Chain A
Amino acid sequence: MAAKRTAPPPANPNPNRRRVTSAADDSASAPPSKRMLAFHFLRALSRIHSSTPVPRRTRTIRRAAYSSMARAASPRSAWSRALLRQVRVRRAVRSRRAVLMRRRVSAAPAPPLGASRSSVSAGQTSVAPPVRTPPPRQEGEPARADALRQLIPGGNGMEYCSLLEETADYVRCLRAQVQLMQGLVDLFSGQ
């Protein structure tokens, strides 16, 4: 029972079990393979190139970068799941907003869309779903962890220990994604 680690335990019920870096740990925290990153991102890029009009491309490409990074990462990471969840939420909000806009244009002045609009046009990856009560801060957790929680997707629901692990994973993946994009830019501009 102790050997099986199917999901990352958010609240560790067994405090005696030491998190020794075993082989399973290494494979879980290894950066995603470059191939998977390239595959997802390139596929998204080709789709963007054929469909999206030019003026909105930057935002779309950036969103595609984050979601392809989340897809390439292991689903064991909480941040990748949170990122994909945000993508879904954002898409639902946008479609709802499109419907409301159409209704607003045809009808009389509707109630302001300020609430939904501001959450979507913020554009940051740290857009959180509507209501998320953060867990009480743990003992020994420094105040800086709050800033970190806001940076890591899904960081608000994590304990301090998992937050640190997720941060490491996120940093690795983010760095690999940046390297990938930099390589792409170099290649394209070298043509």
Chain B
Amino acid sequence: MSSRRSRSRASSGGASRISDEQISDLVSKLQTLLPEARLRSNDRVPSARVLQETCSYIRSLHQEVDDLSDRLSELLATADVSTAQAAVIHSLLM
């Protein structure tokens, strides 16, 4: 939608002349990153929708980081760190 407008408008800034194709390429790449639940269909979704979904997805990821760090702080306080750390390191680095 909005990408159509840029083609008709005269290019004022020569340095930022990026083709619509590149932008729609990037937008579709973003779309593939979104979790399956947010994808309407596998083909054309308006780019504004993709951006909106990306924003809400990033916000939900931030929220998850907050929650997980909350739980981690609780768990760190109580758990026996030395044996747990050994197990964690072992599983994560193998």
Contact = CB atoms under 8 A, between A and B. Distances in A.
B84 interface: yes
B: interface residue count bin: 35 or more
A18 B70 CA distance: 44
A183 B92 contact: yes
A35 B72 contact: no
Interface in A24-82: 34-35, 38-39, 42, 45-46, 48-49, 54, 57-58, 61-62, 65-66
B16 A11 contact: yes
A174 B19 CA distance: 28
A144 interface: yes
B72 A45 contact: yes
A174 B65 contact: yes
B42 interface: no
Contacts of A191: 79-80, 83-84, 87
Given A58-B73, A148-B51, A12 B66 contact: no
A116 to B, nearest CB: 23
A138 interface: yes
B30 to A, nearest CB: 6
Among B61, B64, B92, chain A packs the most CB atoms within 10 A around the CB of B92
A152 B80 CA distance: 36
B93 interface: yes
Given A62-B65, A175-B61, A168 B33 contact: yes
Nearest to B89: A42
B25 to A, nearest CB: 8
Interface string A86-126: 00000000000000000000000000000000000000010
Contact of B55 (A39, A144, A159, A183): A144
A181 B72 contact: yes
A165 B26 CA distance: 7
A138 B13 contact: yes
A174 B61 contact: yes
A165 B64 CA distance: 23
A130 interface: no
A65 to B, nearest CB: 6
Contacts of A145: 51
B23 A164 contact: yes
B37 to A, nearest CB: 14
Contacts of B81: 46, 49
Given A144-B48, A191-B80, A172 B33 contact: yes
8 contacts: A19-B22, A19-B25, A54-B77, A57-B73, A140-B6, A164-B30, A167-B30, A178-B68
